């Protein structure tokens, strides 16, 4: 398999991994609705960066780091569960934002746009940390590299190509999701936004409870 073919195959795998809507997808959708596309993309890049970090650990054979992360699997699941539970409860209790005035975001100077820029780094960091609390991703990527890498030809260059492809595929999905939600956000009324907040809040809290149970 050529380097180009390996990259696009890995990108397809990254897209397939990212596409199912889970707690992070729900969080990305809500942040896009409340903070604009910048906030949503920050979430997406944080998730993809976390997956890439674990992918590099698996690809480069950093056994000490992977064993350490897997040894603390339960505390990390507990941390992730508590964080998701916190996000879910906060979403349920948070009052819906007021509808922006017409043209408020047309030139990027509206209040919602400023919130998106100011919170982008925090959104990225929170998504990255939440993704890193799932060390079993290392196992998934180790299996991925075993499947994709040409037999007998595994090298750091092939590892980096595979990780880069997975990262690119993941980013492509988050860009598509954020774009679709961004195009629809102005057509969503306040009542529907409240309903979405309730669904997202309950979903995040439920995923948090599941993670906490896994840690106990």
| pLDDT tens readout for residues 45-98 | 999 998 888 878 777 776 666 676 667 778 877 888 888 888 888 888 877 655
Confidence of residue 174 (pLDDT cuts 50, 70, 90): very high
Q: How many CA atoms within 13 Å lie on the side-chain side of 173?
A: 24
Q: How much is the pLDDT for 101?
A: 44
pLDDT at 104 over 60: no
Q: Averaged over 145-160, what is the pLDDT?
A: 66
Place of tokens 């907040």: 197
Q: Give Cα separations from 204 to 79, 80, 83, 141 (angstroms).
A: 14, 11, 9, 25
Q: Averaged over 192-199, what is the pLDDT?
A: 82
Total domains in the fold of the chain: 1
pLDDT tens digit sequence for 27-53: 888 888 888 888 899 999 999 998 888
Q: How much is the pLDDT for 150?
A: 54
How far, rounded to the nearest angstrom, does the alpha carbon of residue 28 sit from its chain's CA centroid? 7
pLDDT at 171 over 90: yes
50: nearest Cα among 118, 138, 175, 121: 138
Place of tokens 């309730």: 198
154: left (phi over 0), alpha (psi -120 to 50) or beta: beta
Q: How much is the pLDDT for 177?
A: 93
**Token output for 135:** 């060390």
174 in Cβ contact with 45 (< 8 Å):
yes
**Which residue range(s) make up the domain with 187?**
3-215
Q: Averaged over 124-148, what is the pLDDT?
A: 78
Which of 38 and 135 is assigned the larger pLDDT? 38
């Amino acid at each position: 398999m050529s380097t180009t073919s390996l990259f696009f195959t890995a990108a397809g795998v990254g897209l397939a991994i990212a596409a199912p809507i889970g707690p992070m997808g729900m969080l990305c959708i809500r942040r896009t609705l409340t903070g604009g596309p910048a906030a949503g993309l920050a979430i997406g890049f944080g998730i993809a960066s976390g997956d890439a970090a674990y992918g590099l650990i698996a690809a480069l054979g950093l056994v000490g780091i992977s064993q350490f992360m897997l040894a603390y699997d339960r505390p990390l699941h507990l941390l992730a569960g508590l964080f998701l539970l916190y996000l879910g409860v906060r979403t349920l209790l948070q009052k819906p934002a007021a509808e922006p005035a017409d043209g408020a975001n047309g030139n990027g100077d509206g209040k919602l746009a400023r919130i998106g820029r100011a919170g982008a780094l925090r959104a990225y960091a929170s998504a990255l940390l939440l993704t890193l609390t799932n060390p079993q991703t290392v196992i998934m990527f180790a299996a991925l590299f075993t499947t994709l890498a040409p037999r007998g030809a595994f090298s750091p260059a092939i590892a980096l190509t595979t990780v880069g492809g997975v990262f690119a595929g993941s980013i492509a999905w988050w860009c598509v999701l954020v774009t679709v939600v961004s195009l629809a956000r102005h057509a969503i009324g306040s009542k529907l936004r409240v309903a979405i907040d309730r669904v997202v809040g309950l979903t995040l809290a439920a995923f948090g409870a599941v993670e906490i149970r896994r840690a106990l």
